[in-house]
Chains A and B, each alone.
Chain A
Amino acid sequence: MFKNFLPNKILALNNKFIFKIAKIMILVLFVGIVYSLFISPPDYIQGDSVRIMYVHVPSSFIALGCFAFIGIVSICNLVFKIKFISLMAKSLAPVGLIFTIISIVTGSLWGKPTWGIWWAWDARLTSMAILLFFYLIYILTWKFVINFKKANTISSIIAVIGLFNLPIIKYSVEWWNTLHQPSSITLTSAPAIHYTMLVPLLIMLIGFTIYSVIIFLMRYKIEIMKFKLNKKNKIN
């Protein structure tokens, strides 16, 4: 499995494969959107604004997941010094950034009619904003530090520091009093979401995940090509 991510294997990856999973993604997202916008019922108290959740929750999931991946890869990179592994982290960062922004924007749109305010400096929202800044700093490091080795080390250190933020985001709603509600879906107990709302949520999550994988594969391929070209032309 891991061998498939080696640089040469990725370069051999056929574009047809990406098109194939893109087709699956469109199908899944179509079903998910129809289900969440039309078939699933409104909430007993929020009414139709509950439908924002079907975008908000999967985006937040993926935003956190991507950074967890980047952080763990960065630890491996700092310890074992495998070059192509940090290219994986680099290519996943924009996906995470986009989903962090989507999560914050949709959350804000939901917060206004529900809480009565767009934004509050409570622990969950603040730690999510910090995650956004970590993504930005991480990406900007790759952009502005020209020397590959230097950029690799600095960005990895930033990602590892940012990794400590993730449990704070996850558990902020349990450790402190926050405006944001606690998680409805937990590993230990039955979900607090009715199944008619849980199903579209999971479909959307699958759709967003496939999207992230597609973007990741495309970017990763390009990053490896760039890396090889730079090496050939003796840049860096």
Chain B
Amino acid sequence: MFTQKVKSRIIYSVILAILAITVLYITLKSLEENVVYFYSPTDIYNKTSILSNTTIRVGGLVKEKSINKKGTSINFIITDLKNEIIISYKGLVPNLFSEGKGVIAEGKLKDKKYFVADKILAKHDENYMPPEVKKALEDSK
């Protein structure tokens, strides 16, 4: 069906594609530490060395009833439902920051359970719905 030239080009490109995917996979795998935007509390818990001097990000859900506001400073707990980490922060939080919602804190670890943040980002999940539907969902709970 194909001429010899075209055939050899097909074989050549397939081999090249397989090689490229392998190289890409290995590169991304080894760069995983840098590709992740934030660590979960479990990641931090499993880390052997504490990165106390470098700025890192911790993300998860804000634990229910853990927000403690005092003037401009705020304390809350980030949880991934397995491990928890206490966050202490001074300043304004985004509008979407609330209990049970996703959050990312940027700052430095004091120890494995305590984190001092200098920036708080709200993480939005993939669910979109009108307020009435949300209310109906909560009422049926």
Contacts and interface: CB of A to CB of B under 8 A. Distances in A.
Given A41-B131, A178-B37, A179-B104, 10 more contacts: A44-B129, A44-B134, A79-B9, A115-B94, A115-B123, A161-B20, A168-B28, A179-B37, A181-B123, A183-B126
Interface string B1-27: 000001001100100000011001000
A45 interface: yes
A87 B23 CA distance: 31
Contacts of A45: 96, 98, 101, 124
Contacts, number: 102
A46 B126 contact: no
The B interface, classified by DSSP as helix, strand, loop or mixed, is: mixed
Interface string A11-25: 000000000000000
Interface string A61-83: 00000000000000100111000
Q: Give the 8 A-B CB pairs with smallest separation, nearest first.
A: A41-B130, A44-B134, A116-B94, A122-B37, A194-B129, A184-B126, A193-B128, A44-B131
A197 interface: yes
B122 A116 contact: yes
A177 B80 CA distance: 12
Given A41-B132, A42-B130, A75-B13, A177 B124 contact: no
Contacts of B126: 181-184, 192
Nearest to A110: B124
B21 A184 contact: no
A192 B128 contact: yes
User: Which of B10, B13, B40, B95 has the most A CB atoms < 10 Å from its CB?
Assistant: B95
Interface of A: 41-46, 50, 53, 75, 78-80, 113-117, 120-123, 161, 164, 168, 176-179, 181-184, 192-194, 196-197
A78 B9 CA distance: 8
Nearest to B32: A176
Contacts of B72: none
B132 to A, nearest CB: 7
B85 interface: no
Interface in B84-141: 93-96, 98, 101, 104, 119-134
Contact of A196 (B39, B59, B130): B130
6 contacts: A45-B124, A50-B128, A79-B13, A161-B20, A176-B35, A192-B127
B128 A53 contact: yes
A123 B95 CA distance: 24
Contact of B130 (A78, A113, A194): A194
